[in-house]
Amino acid sequence: MEGSLLIQAKKLREFGQAIFKKVGVTEPHAKETAEILVDANLRGIDTHGIYLSNLYARRLQKQLINPSPEFHFEKRRAGVGILDADFSLGQPATLEAARQAVALARDAGVGIVAVKNSNHFGTAAYYAEYIAGQDCIGLVMCDGECDVIPFGGREKFFGTDPICCCVPSQNQPWFCMDMATSEVAFGKVRAAAEAGQSIPPNWAVDREGNPVTDAQQAYAVVPMSGPKGFALGMMIEILSSRLTGMPYGAHIIRKFDDWENRAFMGHYIQAIDIEAFCPMEEFKKSMHELMTDLKRQPTAPGVNEILIPGEPEWRTKIKRAKQGCPIRKEDAQLLHQLGVDLGVSFPTP
């Protein structure tokens, strides 16, 4: 990545943890949040990485995020519970929901936890992969501040509404589908605008609903595959907000713009205990057979190999774990200033 500094993940984690502790976050939550943010950098999802520590720290300073929340989990049925996150950082709240979902699944076969009063949780893959690491199938969804026009509309209404499903296998990479239900996450449009780069014409529209290639003219992004992405996004909005009583996209505060009000975000976390259906090792073997067969299929002209969902990110993670994570110079400057303000040194390459 041109114009970037390569910094080791360990240094970034230490920086993030120190920053969060400086603004009052408890040590366990500071460690978890830094770990989850840097995991996004390792996966190549830099818009959800350590860059966000500046946003989170500033909102913590303004008491818009609770640095020392008291989670309240209520089991409602054999496999269903609700976690009140007490306006925590989204990362530790969602990880706790994942733990509770796994515990419910051990008893009922399936565990579903709806999270309320939370904040932006970063990348969904971390939590789904955690659940898969407990020999369950992980399903994670979340709504978000509105950046997406409805199919046929021109006004922002829903969030980019990520959905992630992670399934364990004998060997890594596992199946890990992690995607926004918009054509692209708005963070990528924002990054292109900040870098003065153009964007593909099928990513975003201007205020009148016309497709744009100038990222600075982008008002909203569009649903992926038109009505299909729109319908899938609406499903996620329902599961994340209607089950929890939280606002949906058009009524969620904009975390980069609103510095007066707290967010009220909802998440949907599900764990399926594989042993409730078949022996674990038998399942993992069958998954390995499926993926091996898939990768042996003939490729289209110009394609070297068929990749499993999650495999590109897995390869990026291995590479960056060795070489370091590329941090854009603009982001490094932002984080350096954050460190200066809070008395924490930003790491050097």
The tens place of each residue's pLDDT in the chain, 349 residues long, gives: 567 999 999 999 999 999 999 999 999 999 999 999 999 999 999 999 999 999 999 999 999 999 999 999 999 999 999 999 999 999 999 999 999 999 999 999 999 999 999 999 999 999 999 999 999 999 999 999 999 999 999 999 999 999 999 999 999 999 999 999 999 888 789 889 988 899 999 999 999 999 999 999 999 999 999 999 999 999 999 999 999 999 999 999 999 999 999 999 999 999 999 999 999 999 999 999 999 999 999 999 999 999 999 999 999 999 999 999 999 999 999 999 999 999 999 999 8
Q: pTM value?
A: 0.95
The pLDDT of residue 186: 82
CB 308 within 8 A of CB 173: yes
Q: Which two tokens stand for residue 332?
A: 């490094």
Q: In sequence order, which ranges of 183-306 are alpha helices (DSSP H)? A: 186-195, 227-237, 280-295
190: nearest Cα among 52, 59, 6: 52
pLDDT at 1: 54
- The confidence score (pLDDT) of residue 73 equals 98
What pLDDT sits at residue 190?
84
> Which long-range contacts (C-beta less than 8 Å, at least 24 apart) are formed by 341-349?
342/19, 342/22, 342/23, 342/57, 343/22, 344/15, 344/18, 344/19, 344/22, 345/15, 346/15, 347/7, 347/8, 347/11, 347/12, 347/14, 347/15, 348/5, 348/7, 349/5, 349/6, 349/7, 349/324
Q: CB within 8 A of 99, min separation 6: which ones?
A: none
340 token code pair: 């200066």
Tokens (6 digits) for 264: 């009220």
SS3 198: strand
Domain spanning 4-182+223-277+324-342, CATH class: alpha beta
Give the C-alpha distances (Å, rounded to integers) separating 287 from 36, 109, 168, 237, 292.
27, 19, 8, 30, 8
Residue-level pLDDT at 188? 84
* Tokens (6 digits) for 107: 């008893």
Amino acid 325: pLDDT? 98
Residue 2 structure tokens: 């041109």
